[in-house]
Each structure stands twice: as structure tokens, then as C-alpha cells.
Amino acid sequence: MNLLILGDVMGASGRSVLENKLPKIILENQIDFVIVNGENAADDGRGITQPIAEIFFSKGVDVITSGNHIWDKQETTNYIDKENRLLRPANLAEGSPGKGYEIYISKNKKYKIGVINLMGNVFMRKTDDVFQVAKNISKKLVLKKNIDFLVVDFH
């Protein structure tokens, strides 16, 4: 399986590169699954909006992960509850909108990929322990469904 993970897409310039280059990269490298950190993709570099996320998905992104800027755009709170391909950090406070992990199917329909989105505590507001949360979710994913790959995106 060919997996592509891209770090922070920053503002309009980062979005432009992704929009113009990603489809060709996916095709030329036979990429099966794409994960992008998009929490800084808004024009001001803080947050992500529904239109931006939908453009990413249309260009071949399978999952958008995030971190401490996920709530910087008000509209994201409602959108993240409806869109399971946009993940918030799993170790945020219980009851936070959206999901922190999910199981997805690769582009070629051959693989199940579990993706966990986590956020550290260094220079950030306090979150649940990333290692304990990763361990607990990993157990759930392995027991719950047969997955081929597990990706932990740590921000």
C-alpha cells in the first residue's frame, strides 16, 4: 500500500500547491490513501472551513487531521459532526464535536486503514495523555474491526 501523509497545509499558498499538485502525485505514485493536516488551511492560517475541506476531498485527500486550531473557524463545529473524514484530536475533552479516529477504505478498496488524530500538551492547552488515548483507541480498533493499517497522526 502507498500512503501519503502531508503536514500542515498553511493558508492560501499551501492550498494552491495541494490543489495543483496532489492529483498528479497520487496518479504518478499510485497512492492508495492520503492524510493531510488541514487545521491551518484557512486564508489567515488558522482553522479550516467546509469549502476548503471539500476542495481537499475533491483533489484526492481521504482524511483531514487537525490540532489546536480546529475550532478557529466557527462553522467547523457544525461541519465536523457531519463529516467523518475531518478529524479533531481524539484526546480533546469528552463531548467535543466530531470524531478523533475512524476506519476508512483505501482508494483501491483493498485496505482498511484506522486513523487516530492526537494532540500533544507541550506549549498547548492540556489534553488527555496521548499515549494512553492511543493505546485505548488502538485496542478498540483492532478488536472492533479487522484493519490492515493503523496510522496515528500526532500534532
Catalytic positions are: 69
How far, in Å, CA of 56 to CA of 38, rounded?
Answer: 9
Separation of alpha carbons 126 and 119, rounded Å:
9
**Of the candidates 32, 34, 33, 38, the residue with the CA atom closest to the CA atom of residue 15:** 38
Residue-wise DSSP of 95-118: T-SSBSEEEEE-TTS--EEEEEEE
Q: How far is CA 46 from CA 81, 117, 127, in A?
A: 19, 18, 19
Strand partners, 80: none
